[in-house]
Amino acid sequence: MNAEIVAVGSELLLGQIANTNGQFISKQLASIGVDVYTHTVVGDNEQRLNFALKEAHNRSDIVILTGGLGPTKDDLTKETVAKFCGKQLVYDAEALNYIEAFFKQHNRSMSPNNKKQALIIEGAQVLANRHGMAPGMLLELDAGKKIALLPGPPSEMKPMFERELLPLLLGANDHAAITSRVLHFFGIGESQLETDLDDLIETQTNPTIAPLAGDGEVKLRLTVKHGDPTEAVRLLNEVEEKIQARVGKYLYGYDETTLVGEMYAMLKQQGLTIASAESLTAGLFSSELAAVAGASDVLKGSITAYGNDVKESILGVSAATLRNFGAISEECALEMARGVKHLFKSDVAISFTGVAGPESLEGHKVGSVIMALVFADGTEKTIRLSLSGGRNAVRKRGVKYGYFHLVEELKRRNGSK
Tens-digit pLDDT profile for residues 293-311: 999 999 999 999 999 999 9
The whole-number pLDDT of residue 68 equals 94
Cβ count within 10 A of residue 395: 22
Helix (H, G, I), strand (E, B) or coil at 396: helix
The runs of H, that is alpha helices, within 161-208 are 166-172, 190-196, 198-202
Q: Where do the domains of the chain lie, and which CATH numbers do they carry?
A: 2-172 (3.40.980.10), 177-254 (3.30.70.2860), 259-415 (3.90.950.20)
Burial of 182 (C-beta count, 10 Å sphere; 0-12/13-18/19+): middle
How far apart, in whole angstroms, are the C-alpha atoms of residue 64 and residue 151?
Answer: 11
Burial of 216 (C-beta count, 10 Å sphere; 0-12/13-18/19+): middle
Beta partners for residue 372, in sequence order: 351, 382
267 within 8 A of 292, measured Cβ to Cβ:
no
Helix H or strand E encompassing 397: helix 391-415
How far apart, in whole angstroms, are the C-alpha atoms of residue 11 and residue 44?
Answer: 9
Helix H or strand E encompassing 155: helix 154-160
CA 117 to chain centre: 34
The whole-number pLDDT of residue 47 equals 96
Whole-number Cα distances in Å, 210 to 30, 178, 193, 283: 15, 14, 11, 35
The whole-number pLDDT of residue 417 equals 44
Phi, psi dihedrals of residue 369, rounded to the nearest 5°: -130, 135
Helix (H, G, I), strand (E, B) or coil at 336: helix
Task: Give the pTM.
Answer: 0.68
DSSP 70: S
| Of 148, 145, 149, the residue nearest 58 (C-alpha) | 145
Which residues, in sequence order, are CB contacts of 223 under 8 Å at separation 6+?
178, 179, 180, 207, 208, 210
If you count them, how many residues does the chain have? 417
| Of 205, 201, 215, 297, the residue nearest 243 (C-alpha) | 201
CA 187 to chain centre: 20
Q: Which residues of the chain have pLDDT under 70?
A: 171-176, 213, 416-417
